[in-house]
Amino acid sequence: MTATELRAPAPSDATSGPRLIDLTLHVWRQDGPSDRGRMVTIDAPGISTEMSLLEMLDVVNERLTIGGEEPIAFEHDCREGICGSCGMMVNGIAHGPLRATTACQLHMRAFHDGQELWIEPWRAEPFPVIKDLVVDRSAFDRIIQAGGYITAPTGTAPDANSLPVPKADADAAFEAANCIGCGACVAACPNASAMLFTAAKVTHLGMLPQGRAEREARVMSMVATHDDLGFGSCTNIGECSAACPKEIPLETIARLNADLWRAARRRRSRPRRQRG
Ligand code: SF4
Ligand code: FES
């Protein structure tokens, strides 16, 4: 069964009122990058269905701390689906079972009393585990550094609307700009490809006139950096888009490929500079 089939829309019984449920957690514990790591079973009774997954982990951590045990390390910041830092696998699905929902926005009403949850970090070589559920996603920063910028003219700000942008281009750029850099696409992909992330960055800059000056150099450099960092190739499986909490469509990768082919062809046909 694929992630697309496993992922469900938000439950319709969300208005049925809060309940307390008992859960059994199997959590990945790893002391540091060089530790082998192991699954640890933790009982989590009396969890409110109104809590988010991260709030449930807060409660579990408080209980662990009171009991003299090390709390579970997990990454978070905004807790409202914006920053992309909270990614984790829940029962084998990136960000858990709800479609278009980050782990921080996943509520415990998505689970039932007595359920067992397997909570693990992203599994991909370019995202090494730092501790427990926290992985190092700085490989994404290096892809951004390779071309995720535009050349901005100095001086006063241009007049509003002086640069017309076709509606379809603006919509495509805006849709791609929704990417929050969470890494779920990589974790869900059997090839650990970051092509959906890279395509989102290439698209949101390249579709707008302000980002066209570097369009060819950008796609070449970002894809080369993606490959150098050890991310796998895209084979159009589509798990990335199914796992993406911002529903970045697979067509974004097709757009990247078109840009890449155009840039590679033009570079090959460009006349060599004369020597001497
Ligand atoms: S493309 Fe989607 S899954 Fe991948 S990093 Fe961006 S928001 Fe996360
Ligand atoms: S904590 Fe920011 S997206 Fe989840």
- pLDDT digit string (tens) for 53-101? 999 999 999 999 999 999 999 999 999 999 999 999 999 999 999 999 9
Atom number of ligand 1 nearest to Cα 188: 3
Among 4-8, 143-147, 158-162, 245-249, the least confident range: 4-8
Query: 40, 60 in Cβ contact below 8 A?
Result: no
∠231-129-92 over CA atoms, to 5°? 75
Q: Whose CA is nearest to atom 5 of ligand 1?
A: 181
**CATH 1.10.1060.10 occupies which residues in the chain?**
137-150+164-269
DSSP state of 209: G
Residue 76 in contact with ligand 2 by CB distance below 6 A: yes
DSSP state of 91: T
Average pLDDT over residues 113-129: 98
Distance, in Å, from the CA atom of 203 to the CA atom of 185, rounded to the nearest integer, reads 16
DSSP-derived 3-state class of residue 23: strand
Structure confidence at residue 64 (pLDDT): 98
Architecture of domain 137-150+164-269: Orthogonal Bundle (1.10)
Atom number of ligand 1 nearest to Cα 247: 2
Tell me which of 185, 189, 234 to substitute to probe ligand 1's pocket, judged by most ligand atoms within 8 Å of the beta carbon.
185
Structure confidence at residue 158 (pLDDT): 79
For residue 199, the CA-to-ligand 1 centroid distance in Å is 10
**CATH 3.10.20.30 occupies which residues in the chain?**
3-129
CATH of the domain spanning 3-129:
3.10.20.30
Look up tokens 């909490």; give the residue.
245
- Is the confidence at residue 170, as pLDDT, over 70? yes
Among 43-47, 155-159, 169-173, the least confident range: 155-159
For residue 194, the CA-to-ligand 1 centroid distance in Å is 9
Distance, in Å, from the CA atom of 51 to the CA atom of 109, rounded to the nearest integer, reads 8
Structure confidence at residue 3 (pLDDT): 54
Q: Whose CA is nearest to atom 1 of ligand 1?
A: 197
For residue 31, the CA-to-ligand 2 centroid distance in Å is 23
How many C-alpha atoms does 53 have within 13 Å on its Cβ side? 30
Atom number of ligand 1 nearest to Cα 140: 5
In this prediction the pTM is: 0.91
Q: Whose CA is nearest to atom 7 of ligand 1?
A: 179
The closest ligand to the CA of 184 turns out to be: 1
For residue 113, the CA-to-ligand 1 centroid distance in Å is 31
Q: What are phi and psi of 98, to 5 degrees?
A: -95, 135
| Residue 267 pLDDT grade (very low, low, confident, very high; cuts 50, 70, 90) | confident
Atom number of ligand 1 nearest to Cα 200: 1
Structure confidence at residue 271 (pLDDT): 55
Structure confidence at residue 9 (pLDDT): 57
Strand partners, 27: 40, 119
The closest ligand to the CA of 199 turns out to be: 1
Query: 205, 216 in Cβ contact below 8 A?
Result: no
Structure confidence at residue 274 (pLDDT): 42
Q: Which residues contact 254 (CB under 8 A, 6 or more apart)?
A: none
Strand partners, 22: none
For residue 159, the CA-to-ligand 2 centroid distance in Å is 35
For residue 11, the CA-to-ligand 2 centroid distance in Å is 21
Write the pLDDT tens digit of every residue in 206-238: 999 989 999 999 999 999 999 999 999 999 999
How many C-alpha atoms does 219 have within 13 Å on its Cβ side? 30
For residue 268, the CA-to-ligand 2 centroid distance in Å is 43
Structure confidence at residue 227 (pLDDT): 97
Structure confidence at residue 11 (pLDDT): 55
| Residue 35 pLDDT grade (very low, low, confident, very high; cuts 50, 70, 90) | very high
Query: 216, 266 in Cβ contact below 8 A?
Result: yes
Residue 131 Cα distances to 33, 34, 127, 135, angstroms: 7, 10, 12, 7
Q: What are phi and psi of 26, to 5 degrees?
A: -115, 105
DSSP state of 107: B
Instruction: Compare 45 and 15 and report the one with higher pLDDT.
Output: 45
The β-bridge relationship of strands 20-29 and 116-120 is parallel
The β-bridge relationship of strands 38-48 and 89-90 is unpaired
Average pLDDT over residues 146-175: 89
DSSP-derived 3-state class of residue 157: coil
Query: 122, 138 in Cβ contact below 8 A?
Result: no
Residue 102 in contact with ligand 2 by CB distance below 6 A: yes
